[in-house]
Structure 1
Amino acid sequence: MTFQIPSDWQIPTITPLDQALARTMRTRIDGKAKPPGSLGRIEDLAVQLGTIAHPSPAAFQNAALLVFAGDHGLTEEGVSQYPSAVTAAMVRTYLAGRASANAFAAASDVRVRVVDAGVAGELPSHPDLLDIKIRAGTANSARQAAMSPQEAHKALAAGFAIASAEIEAGADIIALGEMGIGNTASSALLVHRLAPAPLDDCIGVGAGQDEPGMARKRAAIHKAANRSDVTAPFDVLREFGGLEIAMMAGAALGAASHRRPVVIDGFISSAAALVAVRLAPAARDYCVFAHRSAEKGHDIVLTALQAQPLLNLDMRLGEGTGALLAVPLLRAASRLLTDVADLSDVLEGRI
């Protein structure tokens, strides 16, 4: 896949979905050979997909998972029980095809592309790895801004360009995943400011913490929050975000600008979606929320975005695993529009 990161990139103008058309789409689905409403929320998903695709058929079948990886300087404050080196180790595991995301991708027939957004370490060259490293991990946001304005802008633009290139290469569903030790701490800060919500309500165990570890994590996150009182979306992103989170936000904007659904995974991907929607509100219409994460704070993001996820499996791994499990539901909902007969055709013997 080839693409360029435009230096003059700007937040795109995204066309909101036509709600009158959505009502027409609902009427069309009600007329299918089934009792109205009998397929529950799959019908809601079909309405969304049909409205996104119009006037083309809703033939959403070819999915790509983008796993964005980056490290966080905030880990210096002890927000995770795992060292930053685990990020690079997991990227190598994805590239070897041996991570949970790879297994779920194989089961769901989804291609995986891994993006080095800002891993604090060198990675081997691999055909499925895009090296877009902005820097080797963010700065420690408890002490200074995580990113410069230029770095945050470049990360957004890169995510947008990557999603756009995947779509141009044939993907019609973009799924988002991530890997980055410390990124639940970064996400908690983003959600705190952008939802907005009380900070302690946004802080969860992440990859696993005992009580002393949680005390360190809370203290570090509060220290970061007390350092800066920014509330504007781009400023919040550069002060507290991660490079992988910024690229996911850009990818969500890229999918929406090309009128393609973007499947949002769990807490961290949802924090990225929150950034994207705060930057360009109409992007919300193109987001499909895969699952309700067990990570504390995810319900806050979902409420802020008025989102009802498709699945509730007590998962909190990340990597795009929940998004991968939701992709077959998008394919099924798409086929409800394109493959299922109208009830009138059945009753009048035209089938």
Structure 2
Amino acid sequence: MNSLAQQLQDKIDRKTKPLGSLGVLETVAFQIASVQNSLDPELKSPHILVFAGSHGLASSAISAYPTEVTPQMVLNFLNGGAAINVFCRQHGISLKIIDAGVDFDFGSRSNLIDAKIAMGTRNSLMEQAMSSWEYALGLKRGADLVSKVALQGSNVIGFGEMGIGNTSAAALIMSKLLNIPIEECVGRGTGLSSQQMNEKVSILRRVIGRHQAVPATAPEVMQAFGGYEMLMICGGMLEAARQNMLILVDGFISSVSYLCALNIMPEVANNAIFCHQSDEKGHKRLLEYLQATPLLNMGMRLGEGTGCAIAYPLLQSAVAFMNEMASFESAGVSTQVS
């Protein structure tokens, strides 16, 4: 009896096409089927979870946008007006918005999941961004939310985020975990001028220096620099892997959250599909470290899970050809080369 991997490759190779001619779609089909342990893979009830959180470090002039943009954008999500709303509606993806720790009182809203840990993290320029208790709570809340989605029958989930200052938090985490200079990890984020960029790098160097003694492990680094939205994404990805769901990884912020999840549980790599290469400076370097080939490279750097939503139809195409395309045998097409 052939192994499943051999059977999957044989099924792909017997389709009415030259070997390998569907390129990355073949790789994606093989991965999806492998995760699902099935020769007939399927995508069920796709979801994208967007986590929002405020960052204490954002008060230190690291962003072109004021901190109040974070709650304003959450309200935009809730009103259906953001890019992620548009793309999820277009592709039939269920969207959930989560307050992981926004510095704003949203009150009771039926379409907002309240998982708030605190009114934003603390300023990592002065102290740790979060406590060990908050870290543990955030991981659990992210995992619990994904567990509920899995119970609804979903087997594919993407993760998005919103948080002014979170590109800086992601750059700090990447720099510390990979032992890469902060200058190689940090980009312009929401659109800084050259002078603002220089100031941002200077501030982040000071943050790195303040936490120099922090061990390069995901729990310690996340507590030092992270955001609650990034923390819940990490916990959610870990749970998605435990539930054997496909994990759609978005851009820079989500990929750094994935890096933390990978540091905690290496098996998460089996389930991860990298949807696009962000235009954010550190993302290309991070993807190279992860030896990950993103499905798309469209110059996007919005976040919100938009890369997941845009890439999802490619997963549908991969599953469709795997299940519906004729084989040489069924189509009566000769495989002989003249």
Normalising to structure 1: TM-score of the pair? 0.91
Equivalent-residue separation in structure 2 for 1:133 and 1:330 (angstroms)? 32
Is the 1:69–1:180 contact (alpha carbons within 8 Å) kept by the matching residues of 2?
Answer: yes
* Aligned counterpart in structure 1 of residue 23 of structure 2, from 18, 36, 40: 40
Equivalent-residue separation in structure 1 for 2:263 and 2:142 (angstroms)? 16
- SS for the counterpart of 2:231 is helix
Equivalent-residue separation in structure 1 for 2:72 and 2:89 (angstroms)? 21
Q: CA deviation at 1:34?
A: 2.0
* Structure 2 unaligned blocks of 5 or more: none
Is the 1:197–1:300 contact (alpha carbons within 8 Å) kept by the matching residues of 2?
Answer: no
Is the 2:59–2:67 contact (alpha carbons within 8 Å) kept by the matching residues of 1?
Answer: no
Equivalent-residue separation in structure 2 for 1:330 and 1:165 (angstroms)? 23
Residue 143 (str. 1) matches residue 111 (str. 2): no
Q: CA 1:304/1:348 → structure 2, altered by over 3 Å: closer, same or farther?
A: closer
Q: How is 1:290-309 mapped onto 2 (pairs within 5 angstroms)? A: 290-309=275-294
Equivalent-residue separation in structure 2 for 1:112 and 1:202 (angstroms)? 30
Is the 1:61–1:331 contact (alpha carbons within 8 Å) kept by the matching residues of 2?
Answer: no
* Aligned counterpart in structure 1 of residue 255 of structure 2, from 270, 274, 277: 270
Equivalent-residue separation in structure 1 for 2:39 and 2:6 (angstroms)? 17
Is the 1:22–1:51 contact (alpha carbons within 8 Å) kept by the matching residues of 2?
Answer: yes
Tell me the equivalent position of 1:52. Answer: 35
List per-residue Cα deviations over 1:33-86 (Å, max 9, x = no partner).
Answer: 222211100000000000001147311142111000001000121111212111
Is the 2:44–2:153 contact (alpha carbons within 8 Å) kept by the matching residues of 1?
Answer: no
Aligned letter for 1:291? H
Tell me the equivalent position of 1:153. Answer: 136
Q: CA 1:28/1:195 → structure 2, altered by over 3 Å: closer, same or farther?
A: farther
* Aligned counterpart in structure 2 of residue 338 of structure 1, from 316, 319, 323: 323
Residue 130 (str. 1) matches residue 130 (str. 2): no
- SS for the counterpart of 1:68 is strand
Is the 1:201–1:296 contact (alpha carbons within 8 Å) kept by the matching residues of 2?
Answer: yes
Equivalent-residue separation in structure 2 for 1:22 and 1:266 (angstroms)? 29
Tell me the equivalent position of 2:207. Answer: 224
Is the 1:74–1:141 contact (alpha carbons within 8 Å) kept by the matching residues of 2?
Answer: yes
Deviates more, 1:65-74 or 1:333-342: 333-342
- SS for the counterpart of 2:308 is helix
- SS for the counterpart of 1:176 is strand
- SS for the counterpart of 1:39 is coil
Tell me the equivalent position of 2:102. Answer: 119
Equivalent-residue separation in structure 1 for 2:33 and 2:115 (angstroms)? 34
- SS for the counterpart of 1:297 is helix
List per-residue Cα deviations over 1:130-180 (Å, max 9, x = no partner).
Answer: 100011100101111111011011111111111111111122210110000
Aligned-residue sequence identity (percent) comes to: 38
Is the 2:157–2:247 contact (alpha carbons within 8 Å) kept by the matching residues of 1?
Answer: yes
Tell me the equivalent position of 2:89. Answer: 106
* Structure 1 unaligned blocks of 5 or more: 1-19
* Aligned counterpart in structure 1 of residue 161 of structure 2, from 170, 178, 188: 178
Equivalent-residue separation in structure 2 for 1:82 and 1:168 (angstroms)? 38
Is the 2:8–2:39 contact (alpha carbons within 8 Å) kept by the matching residues of 1?
Answer: no
Deviates more, 1:177-186 or 1:158-167: 158-167
Equivalent-residue separation in structure 1 for 2:6 and 2:303 (angstroms)? 34
List per-residue Cα deviations over 1:85-127 (Å, max 9, x = no partner).
Answer: 1100000000000011111111121111000001011114333
RMSD (CA atoms): 1.5
- SS for the counterpart of 2:256 is helix
Normalising to structure 2: TM-score of the pair? 0.94
Deviates more, 1:63-72 or 1:229-238: 229-238
Aligned letter for 1:169? Q
Equivalent-residue separation in structure 2 for 1:25 and 1:330 (angstroms)? 16
Q: CA deviation at 1:338?
A: 2.1
Tell me the equivalent position of 1:92. Answer: 75
**Aligned residue pairs, count:** 330
Aligned letter for 1:264? V
Is the 1:265–1:318 contact (alpha carbons within 8 Å) kept by the matching residues of 2?
Answer: yes
